[in-house]
Amino acid sequence: MKLSLIGTGYMGFPIAVKLIEAGHELGVFNRTVQKAEPLLEKGAIVFNKFKDSVEFADTIIIMLSDIKAINALLGEMDLSIMKGKTVIQMSTIAPGESLELRERFQDFGADYFEAPVLGSIPQIETKTLIVLAGSDNQQFESNKELFSAFSNDIRHIGAVGQASSLKLALNQLIIGMTSVFSMSLGFVRERGLDTDVFMDIVRNSALYSPTFDKKLDNYLSRDFSNPNFPLKLLLKDLNLIIDAFSSEQINIEALKGMQRILKEGVEDGLGEMDYSALYNVIHKA
């Protein structure tokens, strides 16, 4: 396929590599062009202008940080050049924001659907990323093969808005499990208990989640460099989650506490660190 990927950040860059490896003709655009230039040697075409990247391809994949970044980019261009193109929105945004984008693109004759993902860089590299498609059946079947470049678990969730809703529900679990595990681990360490014994009991109980072991070394060493997903973006997602959950009469008091923890982490300079750095806020050194 002839594709353009917009956004070569934490997720966009490794996805671009996988699309090239799968044999697709790929153009890329990133506002900070230096972040996209390493893809030249991988076989991508790097564009300096967003408009040029759109004109190049039949299918446009958006992988930007948030709706603000998306709208800022779209506001710079006459969207009539989108006519006849397919737009796949893969960023984590609110369901209402995705629906608004669909209407905006449809007004200019583009075919829009959403496909947020669960997982991060390691899952992209091993093709174990979970793709959540919010689309009609035809859109899903026509583009399913594209996602197989970086996923072997591609799910049609429902219409536009439903996949982005499910993504927020899943990300809330990431925040919740990371936070509560950090509290227990911090208490165990402060009391001088054996962390190996603690982990052995957890692993052999119904309490266990693989994410505990995934980030355990980070917690024990307090090394949160080389992030798979940065703390600042987790805070962005939590803000979306709080708005979405509260609109459905879900009690969000626990989420407000997590929000304060993440804000403190960002204010303490941990925003660019791996999201597991919230441990340093819960259990201070």
The predicted structure's pLDDT at residue 224: 97
Give pLDDT tens digits for 150-190.
999 999 999 999 999 999 999 999 999 999 999 999 999 99
Share of the chain above pLDDT 70, in %: 100
Predicted confidence (pLDDT) at residue 1 exceeds the cutoff of 90: no
Residues paired with residue 151 on neighbouring β-strands, in sequence order: 128
Count the Cβ atoms, other than its own, within 10 Å of residue 113: 24
How does pLDDT run across 45-63, given as a tens digit for each residue? Answer: 999 999 999 999 999 999 9
How confident is the model over 223-233, as a mean pLDDT? Answer: 94
Is pLDDT at 76 greater than 90 in this prediction?
no
Share the mean pLDDT of the chain: 96
Mean pLDDT, to the nearest integer, of 104-109? 95
* Cβ-count burial 154-184 (b if 16+ within 10 Å, e if not): bbbbeebbbbbbbbbeebbebbeebbebbee
Residue 26 is predicted with a pLDDT of 97
Residues in CB range of 158: below 8 A, 6 or more apart:
134
Question: Is residue 77's pLDDT more than 90?
Answer: no
Is the pLDDT reported for residue 211 higher than 90? yes
Tell me the percentage of the chain whose pLDDT exceeds 90.
Answer: 96
- Whole-number Cα distances in Å, 230 to 72, 227, 235, 250: 22, 6, 9, 26
* 227 pLDDT more than 90: yes
**246-256 pLDDT tens trace:** 999 999 999 99
Query: Cα separation of 223 and 219, whole Å?
Result: 7
Q: Report the Cα–Cα distance between both ends of the chain, in Å, rounded.
A: 50
